[in-house]
Amino acid sequence: MAESGGARPEDIDQGMELGCAHPMGPLRLLDLIGLDTAQAIAESMYEEYRVGPTSRRRTGLSNRPWPS
């Protein structure tokens, strides 16, 4: 939303803090921990929790390409 100009980063953070009771908005958190750390966490979670071939077949996702 911030990237497309739909909302200011401050407004997104405030919405998450007030509307979802988060102690800190997501963009402020990214500023705090750094984008490199956030990327490393996302890659680690993807490897740990990605859907295996059996689940992909059962959900009908087997004909879709696996994201790289």
pLDDT score recorded for residue 40: 94
Q: Where are the domains positioned within the chain? A: 9-58
Superfamily the domain 9-58 falls into: N-(1-d-carboxylethyl)-l-norvaline Dehydrogenase; domain 2 (1.10.1040.10)
User: Which residues of the chain fall below pLDDT 50?
Assistant: none
The string of DSSP codes covering the chain is -TTTTSS-HHHHHHHHHHHS--SS-HHHHHHHH-HHHHHHHHHHHHHHHPPPHHHHHHTT-TTSPPP-
CA distance 48 to 34: 21
pLDDT of residue 63: 64
pLDDT value of residue 62: 62
